[in-house]
Structure 1
Amino acid sequence: MRYRVEYTERAARLRDFLPADDRRRLLRLVRKVAEDPYGPGTGLRYTNDELTRASREDSAMVEFIVIPSRRVVYVLEADIYDAPRGYNVI
């Protein structure tokens, strides 16, 4: 069952202002995380933090928190990395 996705203000602002191709990449990753937040493409972000998880795919990266009791994934941070355009396009 798919989780509902919520964004922090900063992550939502990035999502809204990205060029269309980058936005598609980011939203594809967010959909994948919403389908299975504990799947093989995700992992703990920090070694001393059991809550914050991260996932990367196709130059997109998201950090998120999963609230299983409410079936919500909170996207804390989102980024697009693209070396030819400059390592970080934000």
Structure 2
Amino acid sequence: MFAAVLMYEVRSSRPDHAPLFEETVTLLAADSAEHAAERAREHAESRETTFPDHTGDLITWSFRHLVDVTEVDGPLGDGADVYTRHFSDYRAYLAVEPLAS
């Protein structure tokens, strides 16, 4: 089992709308990191879509980047760690991660 970190961009046709970015950790069954990366890209591209929101503006959901692929060690279940990142600059992390502050 592998964890893939995928980055998406969400845009609106509304001129004053700033893009929103989503980072998602997706679990994938694969026999190698390369196979997991291939499956991750396919999965991410399959989620790309455009649809009207409740006001009629078009929302476009686009895959931007495969950030990382890593093997998940150990069994999956309650309390299992599926993805870990390390940072050397905590202030920089806080600048881009609003939920941490």
TM-score, normalisation: structure 1: 0.29
Q: Which has the higher strand share?
A: 2
Q: Which has the higher helix share?
A: 1
Rg larger in structure: 2
TM-score, normalisation: structure 2: 0.27
